[in-house]
Chains A and B, each alone.
Chain A
């Protein structure tokens, strides 16, 4: 029996080799393939954060199609190769290896999750490949490397969270509950640094592990110090925000609620929308309809796909493909030249506003917004002047 199995296995392996051998392209086709300019993409296409990655993928598809219909880059068509980073540093590192070593890409659009960008950055740096993120907001990415760029403001940056702090300043005593993750801990750090200058005391500072369902004792601790306000600092949009708010209400806590943008994720609004009424969060700004580029993009997106998790993220990703195109036209696939092009780029008017990159590859010109939940809708309270610069 065992012998037969071995024979079967061996012949299968041989067959696989044969097929692989046959599919090798004849020389003529290889030359033709080189005409295509390949760019890589890393984002969460499966798992909890898939909504984010798929929104970005759709935006890339739209932009690549537009560029190719308009004649490509100096006549060469653009081709995006999509890899699933699964919102994990390890997966993103593997994906970056594959894109660089097998597909020979010189530019990778990604990641979406900060962990992906941080996971891929050491590999892209070592290979002098551009890593261009639209949505990763971890402060650490500022120092991730010379070839790393992003269109998002870092979490703790005063431009992002600052506008909300003016509203939090209406309270004297605030409690913070934070998920143990890079993203949420970055925000917690920003709050602890910036709130004292607004004369707000942090009276409780609780942390919980991702996946926690029972917040009663965390909330009992918070309730015992009588805060005026609660900052809910989640890192995942799923069940958690709703459970925290439900259990706080059950314990009879009467506090004003603040948080990051995940608090207004559709699931939370559906679960505890009534209790969230009047809560305020910081978020990346909405796309401004008065900006013709943003308007045209949203219309095109909506005609093909259902609404993305964040139009801002999809728009930013769409912009990055065009910025990449401009860079490729200027430099070809010389990544040192592309890097310098991006550092020296003049103000670019895209869907998310008018912006450029600073000397660390972070974005300049984009500001955060404050949103309030009114009748179960996230309404913009304060708008950034990014578009009207």
Chain B
């Protein structure tokens, strides 16, 4: 086993999981301009929905996965329609929206404990076995799928934002809501679509993470913390930045604990976060904006 290759593989797997969370989170942030921490609850609830379909109702896995992703999109949409939109109408500040998102996070996490219980749920596709040897490192088929899905999804998202009309409209609202309105874009409609797309990505993440790390009520918390860290490092204003930051976080964590005592893994992540907040708060790919920066 080549150590460097193995560490690289470990970093890429971790980075892919972080990126799946960070991309949806930063997409919603870039358009709606507030921290939607309840994104973590979307992942948790979706993972339980996957367990409900695949584990309890014994639906075929592919069908359960599709239903879960659809559910996630609708769940995100409902969060926006029932919670954030009425608040925006009342001119709530971003800080209020952030607190509302934390409240929803806690609500849905507790709801999952109440409905499904606090014990661990598993959704598994096959027996546990030794992974495949790739250039001297070991990676399982599921982990390869996680990495591939993550990369393909993020490229598609990037193309969607760059090339399609809708994607351009989303970027327009992200850039300046008032100007977008004057050219006939309805921001509320764009918010709805953004929440649906961002949450659908959270749904895909939930399916993959449920297979890899099992389902438990508090899973969303550590995921959103790492996703948020990745997004800040790379630049929360844009999805490619958040993705880049997530992979960087995976690399630094895994190579870091090779050299440092392993108890410092989270410390490494947060030191990196602090360095960026202090020196480059706009992130790696972020652009410093003047009057436009809200």
Contacts and interface: CB of A to CB of B under 8 A. Distances in A.
A224 B122 CA distance: 30
A274 B129 CA distance: 11
Interface string A227-263: 0000000000011001100100111100000000000
A207 interface: yes
Given A238-B120, A249-B130, A272-B128, A217 B216 contact: no
B263 interface: yes
Interface size class of B (residues with CB under 8 A): 20 to 34
A270 to B, nearest CB: 8
A220 B7 contact: yes
A250 B7 contact: no
Nearest to B124: A271
A310 interface: no
A246 B213 CA distance: 10
Interface of A: 47-48, 50, 180, 206-209, 211-214, 216-218, 220-221, 223-224, 238-239, 242-243, 246, 249-252, 267, 270-272, 274-275
B14 interface: yes
Contact of A223 (B1, B13, B120): B1
B79 to A, nearest CB: 25
Interface stretch (B42-50, B90-98, B177-185, B254-262): B254-262
A336 to B, nearest CB: 42
Interface string B228-262: 00000000000000000000000001100110011
27 contacts: A50-B118, A208-B263, A209-B263, A211-B218, A214-B13, A216-B254, A217-B7, A217-B257, A220-B6, A220-B7, A220-B258, A223-B1, A238-B119, A239-B214, A242-B120, A243-B213, A243-B214, A249-B128, A249-B129, A249-B130, A250-B128, A250-B129, A250-B130, A250-B131, A250-B140, A251-B131, A274-B128
Interface in B212-228: 213-214, 216, 218-219, 222
A343 B111 CA distance: 47
* Of A48, A206, A216, A275, most B-chain CB atoms within 10 Å: A216
Contact of A242 (B130, B214, B254): B214
Q: Which 10 A-B pairs have the closest CB atoms?
A: A207-B263, A252-B130, A216-B10, A217-B254, A206-B262, A213-B213, A250-B131, A217-B10, A239-B120, A220-B6
B188 interface: no
B118 A48 contact: yes
Nearest to B131: A250
A180 B265 CA distance: 12
Contacts of A251: 130-131, 138
A292 to B, nearest CB: 34
B152 interface: no
Contact of A275 (B13, B128, B216): B128
B131 A271 contact: no
A213 B1 CA distance: 23
A207 B130 CA distance: 24
A217 B128 contact: no
A249 B216 CA distance: 22
Contacts of A220: 1, 3, 6-7, 10, 258
A213 B262 contact: no
Contacts of B10: 214, 216-217, 220
Interface in B22-49: none
A275 B222 CA distance: 27
Contacts of B140: 250
B257 A218 contact: yes
Nearest to B213: A213
B213 A239 contact: yes
B138 A250 contact: yes
Contact of B262 (A208, A238, A246): A208
A270 B140 CA distance: 21
Nearest to B14: A214
Contacts of B253: 217
A217 B129 contact: no
A217 to B, nearest CB: 5
Contacts of A250: 128-131, 138, 140
Nearest to A245: B128
A223 B6 CA distance: 11
A180 B263 contact: yes
Given A208-B262, A216-B13, A238-B120, 19 more contacts: A207-B261, A207-B263, A208-B265, A209-B266, A213-B222, A216-B14, A217-B7, A217-B253, A217-B257, A220-B6, A220-B10, A223-B1, A224-B1, A239-B214, A242-B120, A250-B130, A251-B130, A267-B119, A272-B128
Contact of A267 (B120, B258, B265): B120
Contacts of B213: 213-214, 239, 243
B94 to A, nearest CB: 25
Nearest to A213: B213
B195 to A, nearest CB: 26
A223 B7 CA distance: 12
